[in-house]
Amino acid sequence: MKFRVSRETLLRPLQVAGGVVERRQTLPILSNILVQVSGDTLTMTGTDLEVELTATAQVSDVEAGEITVPAKKFVDICKSLPEGAELEFRVDEGKALVRSGRSRFSLATLPANDFPATDDVGGGIEFTLTHVQLKTLIERTQFCMANQDVRYYLNGMLLEIDRDVVRAVATDGHRLAYSEIGAEVGVSVKHQVIVPRKGVGELGRLLGDREERVNVRMNANHIRVDFDGIVMTSKLIDGRFPDYERVIPRQSDKQVVADRETLRQALARAAILSNEKYRGVRIEFSSGKLRALVSNPEQEEAEEEIEVDYQGDLFEIGFNVSYVLEALNAVREDRVRLGLTDANSSCLLQGLEDKATRYVIMPMRL
């Protein structure tokens, strides 16, 4: 097999396919990407057995064939070549030979037949969203996913398709993010899948802020997302996601409205002196004011006070300050509303006019 291609044409799809490959692998073949040439199309595929990424490029001077080559080395070679360089790739006697100008590289290969194949995503449902719709759902929720939790169903994002609404929900048991968008998906029965953390992260990395369509197909075991010559296929987490509707507070008798950036900056300053392990902040609400109080084992203290719209009785509650800051970072409105009941009940945080996105944060004892 062989092909010719410019560095710029090759680099983007090569980085896409190589981005899913883990540095340390138990199987040598998983350190490689699958390189296939047919007609004038080059297809490159990388996988870690959970997530597979495939990307294509147009090439010339083609001899069809397929082989696998070390992902990181191939990416680094391509990145190191000068801009505008022409690159020739050929396979000779079990070696992949890469030439560009006066540069020559010989890479070890493994047979394409040994590369793990992903199951076909047949049956199930299929719908389309725009880049910006799917990216927005991910950005507003992914930071609440658990990381290596023994409750494996929390190590991912719930994607729920319900008639003409698509919802994303993530929780690590201490906080929850919920966001929804209206979309003409044409599904009559509610579908729920749990997309694993890595699949969510790869999608968030690759999607743009554009209005072009993204095709989504999912069945009981896999989700496949197809856009811009890129196909991401991910296994789904087999488990029952918690009933998020029971977690989101419906009535909160204490309402606080604050400027998002003022509150974020005040909490970020106070967090500098918070306990590095527990990250606790005590927040006091009084008429028209919010005070954030932080202390640590070194007997250091921080206090911040800002003006807010609150007219209730004196009220105090503790939070992990990192959870509040991450929710504030995800809100896209200038003003936020905090719904509170008592010091032992969760807080509902959302943009003042945004009914589609909500953040629930459990309190902590300080």
Structure tokens at 201: 């992260």
For residues 356 and 254, state if they share a domain: yes
Report if residue 366 sits inside a domain.
no
Q: Write down the pLDDT at residue 26.
A: 84
For residues 133 and 98, state if they share a domain: no
**Cα radius of gyration rounded to whole Å, the chain:** 25
Q: How confident is the model over 56-101, as pLDDT tens digits?
A: 999 999 999 999 999 999 999 999 999 999 999 999 999 999 999 9
Q: In the predicted model, is pLDDT for residue 102 greater than 90?
A: yes
Report if residue 120 sits inside a domain.
no
Q: 189 pLDDT band (50/70/90 cuts)?
A: confident
| Mean pLDDT (the chain, rounded) | 95
For residues 78 and 105, state if they share a domain: yes
Of 105-114, 118-127, 232-241, 250-259, which gets the smallest average pLDDT?
118-127
Q: What is the mean pLDDT of residues 167-178?
A: 98
Q: 11 pLDDT band (50/70/90 cuts)?
A: very high
For residues 240 and 255, state if they share a domain: no
Instruction: Give the CA distances from residue 197 to residues 143, 227, 289, 299, 329, in Å, rounded to whole numbers and listed in that order.
Output: 10, 20, 38, 38, 20
Report if residue 183 sits inside a domain.
yes
Q: How confident is the model over 126-159, as pLDDT tens digits?
A: 999 999 999 999 999 999 999 999 999 999 999 9
For residues 199 and 106, state if they share a domain: no
For residues 265 and 277, state if they share a domain: yes
Q: Write down the pLDDT at residue 252.
A: 92
For residues 148 and 211, state if they share a domain: yes
Give the structural domain span for 199: 125-246
Q: 363 pLDDT band (50/70/90 cuts)?
A: very high
CATH number of the domain that residue 264 is part of: 3.10.150.10
End position of a domain, from candidates 83, 114, 145: 114
For residues 204 and 130, state if they share a domain: yes
Beta pairing partners, 159: 168, 193
Please list, in sequence order, all residues whose beta carbon lies within 8 angstroms of the beta carbon of residue 71, skipping any fewer than 6 positions away.
Answer: 17, 18, 21, 31, 32, 33, 46
Report if residue 237 sits inside a domain.
yes
Separation between Cα atoms, residue 61 and residue 82, nearest integer Å: 21
End position of a domain, from candidates 211, 246, 281: 246
For residues 299 and 357, state if they share a domain: yes
Q: Write down the pLDDT at residue 120.
A: 82
Report if residue 86 sits inside a domain.
yes
- Do strands 165-171 and 156-162 pair parallel, antiparallel, or not at all (unpaired)? antiparallel
Report if residue 219 sits inside a domain.
yes
Q: In the predicted model, is pLDDT for residue 335 greater than 90?
A: yes
End position of a domain, from candidates 246, 271, 303: 246
Q: What angle do CA 318, 262, 312 make, to 5 degrees?
A: 55
Separation between Cα atoms, residue 311 and residue 276, nearest integer Å: 33
- By the 10 Å C-beta count (0-12 exposed, 13-18 middle, 19+ buried), 236 is classed as buried
Report if residue 119 sits inside a domain.
no
For residues 203 and 295, state if they share a domain: no
For the chain, the domain total comes to 3
For residues 271 and 306, state if they share a domain: yes
For residues 205 and 314, state if they share a domain: no
Q: How confident is the model over 262-310, as pLDDT tens digits?
A: 999 999 999 999 999 999 999 999 999 999 999 999 999 999 999 999 9
66 or 366: whose pLDDT is higher? 66
Q: How confident is the model over 20-51, as pLDDT tens digits?
A: 998 888 899 999 999 999 999 999 999 999 99
Q: 239 pLDDT band (50/70/90 cuts)?
A: very high
Report if residue 281 sits inside a domain.
yes
